[in-house]
Chain A
Amino acid sequence: MKLYEYMIRRLILLVFVLFAVSVVVFYLVRGFPTGIAPWAAYIHSRMTSEQIEAVIKAHGFDRPIWEQYFYWLRDTFSGDWGLTGTWAQGRPANEVFFNHFPYTVELSVVATIWTVTIGLLLGIVSAVRNNRLPDHISRVIALAGYSTPSYWFGFVLQLVFFYYFSLWNLPHLPSSMASDLARPNITGMPILDGLLTWNLAYVSDEFLHLILPSFSLAFISLGFLARIVRASMLEVLRQDYVTMARSKGLKERVVIYRHALKNALIPAVTLTGIFFASLLGGAMITEYVFSWPGVGQQALRAIFQGDSNFILVYSLVFAAITVVANLVVDIIYAFLDPRIKY
């Protein structure tokens, strides 16, 4: 199979996945008999029953579920994703989503940078010092990473680096939220905008706000990356061409960084791509803990309010991101390792 055939297959899969996800989520949020009433997000306690009736009529919640789905599909294709409930002042769901999305992207990028730098270093060190102290330490860090409750770790970071550091008069990090300094809005990406207008005060403040949440996210996955890098590094170091490089009299440093690392990195690339995609969708708890204004926190509110329109946008965008990220990773994989054929 050629690469483009593979890509076409995957894009067809994307259409199928989006359809299936939308059906499942639509049924759960709109049609499920015992669930939160679909109109619950649009009403408040002081409304009369006539007003509630009007809300139900206006959003079409009184129609049969398949008819609702059909109308939703039609509106979605014409770019109208429906309105959010009162929790987001009834703005269009896609507008709410894309207003908050840049914050999530920013957080995910910084968290991925943390993960890759620390994870790679740990992985290389533990492969080179295999089964000695550095290896054991990195194994414990790795396992501790994915054994840590993410919300708890976020709070511990806040407690230590914000509360106790300020109590002891040490320089402390901001505990939650994004920077509230004024910034221009050009691209919508907070730090990027700050850099473009050379507003260094904003950039540094936003960066300080990012440190704790991004590290809390990265800690959970960097160990996993370190273990993968270690395993593939160990396998590469056993191969003939590495022995060859050593017997040529190359320094160990050159052998490891110039010869072995390149091939050992291939699995790490895959993992990083998938990790980044899952961060874009899965940072909910961390965003909640740090009150970070990203989409995850909004989705959590939407779920608690039973706001079907926002939940649908959120799940569909992330289903698309996941499938596309997997595709991109596969393509990069084929590019990095010419032996792989699709």
Chain B
Amino acid sequence: MLGQSVDVRKGEWEARLADIKYMLHLFRKNPLVMTGTSTSLFFIILALLANIIVDPNLAYPEGYSNSMYPFERKYMWSADHIVNWGSGIALYQGSESFYLGTDGWGRDLLKMMVLAIPTDLYNATIITIVAAVFGTLLGAVAGYVGGIFDEAVLRITDVFFAFPGLVLALVFAAMFGRTIETLRLAIILVWWPPYVRLMRGQVLSEKEKPYVEALKALGAGHSRILLRHIMLNTIYPILVQATMDFGGVILTFSALMFLGFSPSPALPELGNLAADGYGHLFDAPWVMLFPGLTMLIISLAFNLLGDGLRDILDPRLRR
């Protein structure tokens, strides 16, 4: 009896492995997905190494002695740079070279962007994971239990869906004060409801299938059926949604920062860096341009990855 069940297990794992191998094969065939994956990986590695590549103290000029306080190179572009922005640009003649110019504190914009990437990726990861796990569990239980609980959860999500986009997050952030934790919480508050709907729908269709009935007949408990079986079978769409949401979360997070919910104007964060260029669009366009472009690339990379994952994980879209 025992031996037989081990055999079944082994076969199951082999099948899964073969499936994963096939997916990897499909993955490699699609150039867009490969681009997305490698770009995402690049940014993740950059985020891990950022504090080694660039000295994090550079972000806070107050930490430097007065003679180094770099105010005299505020919003400047290197004079010998290949790119010429046209008239009305302050040029830097000194010995240092800035590949992407300097910002309002006279800091090297490229170095600040490198320092900003871990902040953005780390916060977006936390927000996405918390929102996805919370929404998924709530949706799964609501779909499985049904009845009044289901109705109550659905009505609550209705209320959240009715809020205009950013307003709830903005009001929440404004009321709680300007800390990173508040911002995270504010965005989580806006991002969990879609997961509830998604997971609930999945569980509703899945729980009517014969294998669930078989499990019940075998005497499996509700939590075991839900967590070990139904959720494992319905996790792919959630995974895809979370990957696609990751890009959106970065954008929302940095948008809140841009609108002025940043805890400190000197914090290296992409939206915050871009906000520095708000009043200087025409005399220092790079301060707005490059952080935004980086955000676009990161978000696009994760969206390409998610889009490809969806095509690959959904058997109906494979061919």
Contacts and interface: CB of A to CB of B under 8 A. Distances in A.
Contact of A158 (B159, B281, B304): B281
Contact of A25 (B171, B251, B259, B296): B171
A147 B174 contact: no
Contacts of B122: none
A322 B162 contact: yes
Contacts of A245: none
B190 to A, nearest CB: 11
Chain A interface, >50% SS class: helix
Q: Which interface class (under 10, 10 to 19, 20 to 34, 35 or more) fits B?
A: 35 or more
Which of B159, B247, B299 neighbours the largest number of chain A CB atoms within 10 Å of its CB? B159
Contacts of A146: 247-248, 303
A11 to B, nearest CB: 13
A304 B260 contact: yes
A236 interface: no
Contacts of A314: 164, 167
B158 A159 contact: no
B48 interface: no
B32 A136 contact: yes
Contacts of A304: 174, 260
B251 A147 contact: yes
Given A140-B32, A156-B292, A159-B281, A147 B299 contact: yes
A315 B285 CA distance: 35
B301 to A, nearest CB: 8
Nearest to A323: B162
Nearest to B252: A149
Contact of A147 (B155, B161, B247): B247
Nearest to B166: A284
A300 B168 CA distance: 11
Contacts of A278: 164-165
B32 A315 contact: no
Nearest to A30: B175
A281 B168 CA distance: 12
Nearest to B88: A167
A282 B171 CA distance: 14
Interface in A119-157: 136, 139-140, 143-144, 146-153, 155-156
Contacts of B168: 24, 315
B300 interface: yes
B164 A318 contact: yes
